Amino acid sequence: MKTILVTGGCGYIGSHTLVDLIQNGFEVISVDNHSRSTGELLDGVEAITGVRVKNYKADLCNMEAVKAIFSENKIDGIIHFAAYKSVDESVKEPLIYFQNNLTSLVNLLECTKLFDVPYFVFSSSCSVYGDVEKMPVTEDTVLTEPKSPYGRTKKIGEEIISDFAKTSATKFILLRYFNPVGAHPSGVIGEIPYGAPSNLVPVIMQCAIGAIPVLNVYGHEYNTRDGSCIRDFIHVCDIATAHTLALKKMFDSSVTDNYTIYNLGTGNGVTVLEAISAFEKVTGVKVNYQLTAPREGDVVAIYANNDKAKKDLAWEPVYNINDMMRTAWKWQGVLKGLVK
């Protein structure tokens, strides 16, 4: 049984990926310092899988703490999620984003060399594309300037891995997520926002339960179908599955290049207003929203061409926008009991 170290395993995408890995026969270890998470999602992972995942409450920016984890365990592969991810916060506090997101990555890469870890999957983002003119974006689309320090950390992270891969024995797969939403169909795990939520779907949920009075739709005069931004919303379970498939591909020795990038999106652009409408349709709950000025750090429109992931990883998104909203709403009912 192969042992996979999942960084940020107590987080949103990390916890769903733990479930998918366990259900596909992998042994998993988590490292998460709970700076942007809590341990509740590991309880949910156990409820779904029957497996209690060990978590190291360690700071990945502390190299000695990271080395200790690798010394204690034989790690066959790494999935690196752990990072700060708020666009708004990164604009206000860019230095903490560069310090946390890049130092943690460099420390992990150093450990792949010190401890001969053969496989590494990196959590990247569609934010590396910036504002692009031609849609959908492919993995070969020329990257423009990121719109936020968060996006810049992901772009720099990809560049660090690209340079390191040229002299490393480790194989790397980089997965560029578009907009992860939804929750596990069981309703047992989902997204727990850190502080005030800034991503669209958690804000919709908070508005729907009356926790916030109004949802701001940032920008309503863009050159899009209805004037609002366009995003490619992808269910978190579809993203989790892609990580398992990426590891399986590497373990099956069918990866020849040691640095490969894949887009993870549905391939369909959905406007912010269309997403709100989908939520209202599947739940019967109206959302109080208002149209406001554009927000710094946001791109106007972006959605994926996912042909490469479909072909190489045999990956196929199975959840649509209605499923995403339905599962997120089911999780919201659970979340009310977790967050006081």
Active site residues: 150
CB 262 within 8 A of CB 242: yes
Query: Quick check: bond before 118 cis, omega within 30?
Result: no
Q: Can you read off the two tokens belonging to residue 98?
A: 């560069």
Distance CA 170, CA 239 (A): 22
Cα dihedral 13, 14, 15, 16, rounded to 10, equals 50
Letter string b/e over residues 193-225, b meaning 16 or more CB atoms within 10 A of that residue's CB: bbeebbbbbbbbbbbbeeebeebebbbbebebe
Distance CA 283, CA 285 (A): 5
Distance of CA 85 to the CA centre of its chain: 9
Cα dihedral 136, 139, 144, 147, rounded to 10, equals 80
Strand (E) positions, 249-288? 259-264, 270-271
| Euclidean distance between the first and the last CA atom of the chain, given in angstroms as a whole number | 39
CA geometry: angle 7, 29, 315, nearest 5 deg: 70
CA-to-CA dists, residue 219 to 145, 192, 229, 269, 303, angstroms: 20, 26, 7, 16, 18
Distance CA 207, CA 333 (A): 13
Letter string b/e over residues 84-112, b meaning 16 or more CB atoms within 10 A of that residue's CB: bbbbbbbbeeeeebbebbbebbebbbebb
